[in-house]
Amino acid sequence: MLFDLFKACVLGIVEGLTEFLPVSSTGHLLLMDHFFGFDDDAFGKAFVVLIQLGAILALLSIYSIRLWNIATALPTDPAARRFVIGVLIAFLPAAVIGALAYGVIKGVLFNAWVVCSMLILGGFVLLWIDRLDLKPRYYDATRFSLPMYLGIGVVQCISMVPGVSRAGATIVGAMLLGADRRSAAEFSFYLAMPTMVGAFAFEMYKSRAELTGSNTLIVAVGFATSFIAGWIVVKTFLNYVSRHGFGLFAWWRIIIGALGLIGIALFG
């Protein structure tokens, strides 16, 4: 029981820390399962669903006032309406492709070789984007153009490959389309809201027959640690990348991916 609680705590922390960073939460969880046997499915579908919910609620709790202000401005403020439409436009490509290709993605791409390769490739992409002499045109995530929102949504679809990172794809897409680091990172938070809620609802619906009240303490530990870790990341990430860029996350991806490939070659 104590080891199960430890595993739940670790998986919750990993989910919360990596969900909003450009390092791929899915990739890290898959590698933990592959090398350490930390399989979140071992605790049941309730655990898988609720640690995701913990990260979602951390984000929503921090952005609750801003979301409320946007919602109350919708009837009178065209800019607020345009932003909400923009987020929905950015969300749609991944929603459609994810629903259509769910079986292929889960069945073919969810393996350690793919994860490690994408972690390394994504790390070099982050180093490249950091070194580009970009000329940002947008400094506010709520003021992007509608075509730009769509472009970011299309780029986000790449993150369906495990190891790519939803946050990373969103940030890179936004910066290439004219956003500065901070607004690109912040828009990754806004886009995470419908994307994660949609994925959570879809997964919960598919697993509804398997959701039970068993292992309540384990589920609660995973949920709580995911919430706390996600809250810390959301509160600190924007200021960090504004000052330091993405180098730390790039090298983390490259090192973890390389170690993973070595581990696969040595141990299978």
CA 132 to chain centre: 24
- The pLDDT value recorded for residue 109 is 79
- The pLDDT value recorded for residue 1 is 72
pTM for the model: 0.91
- The pLDDT value recorded for residue 98 is 83
Cα–Cα distance, 171 to 136 (Å, whole number): 13
- The pLDDT value recorded for residue 250 is 98
Residues of the chain with pLDDT under 50: none
> Got the DSSP string for 148-173?
HHHHHHHHHGGGGSTTS-HHHHHHHH
- The pLDDT value recorded for residue 208 is 63
- The pLDDT value recorded for residue 218 is 83
Cα–Cα distance, 184 to 172 (Å, whole number): 8
* Total Cβ atoms within 10 A of residue 211: 15
Domain locations along the chain: 2-267
Helix ranges (DSSP H) in 132-246: 146-156, 166-176, 181-206, 216-244
pLDDT in tens, 86-136: 999 999 998 898 888 877 777 777 889 999 999 999 999 999 999 999 999
- The pLDDT value recorded for residue 129 is 96
Q: Tell which residue, 162, 192, 219, 156, has the closest CA to residue 31.
A: 162
| Contacts of residue 10, Cβ cutoff 8 Å, sequence gap at least 6 | 32, 38
Q: Tell which residue, 205, 210, 168, 204, has the closest CA to residue 187.
A: 168
| The token pair that represents 187 in the structure block | 């828009």
CA 29 to chain centre: 12
